[in-house]
Amino acid sequence: MIELRVMTDNEFEEFLREGKEGYAQQRSRNFDTTLEYERAQAERQYAELLPDGKHTKNNHFWTIVRTGASIGFL
């Protein structure tokens, strides 16, 4: 059975780390810019979009769980 549960603080940190890095790599490839530049852009954009991190108003972060194991994030 697949379930959703509220993301823990540690899971949120992992979600941010993976999200920022993936976003930066994709933008670097797509726009032919340096990865360092895009990492800085990702940091800025995430900070702007989620000023209160996991507790940013009107944002909800979930962990997808199957048979007790985390398999993804929403």
Amino acid 19 reads G
Please give the backbone phi and psi of residue 60, each rounded to the nearest 5 degrees, phi first.
Answer: -130, 135
With contact defined as beta carbons under 8 Å apart, do 64 and 74 qualify? yes
DSSP one-letter code for 66: E
With contact defined as beta carbons under 8 Å apart, do 14 and 7 qualify? no
pLDDT in tens, 8-53: 999 999 999 999 999 999 999 999 999 999 999 999 999 999 999 9
pLDDT confidence of residue 11: 96
pTM of the model: 0.86
Kindly list the domain boundaries of the chain, sorted by start residue.
2-73
pLDDT confidence of residue 21: 98
Amino acid 30 reads N
- Half-sphere CA count of 3, side-chain side, radius 13 A: 10
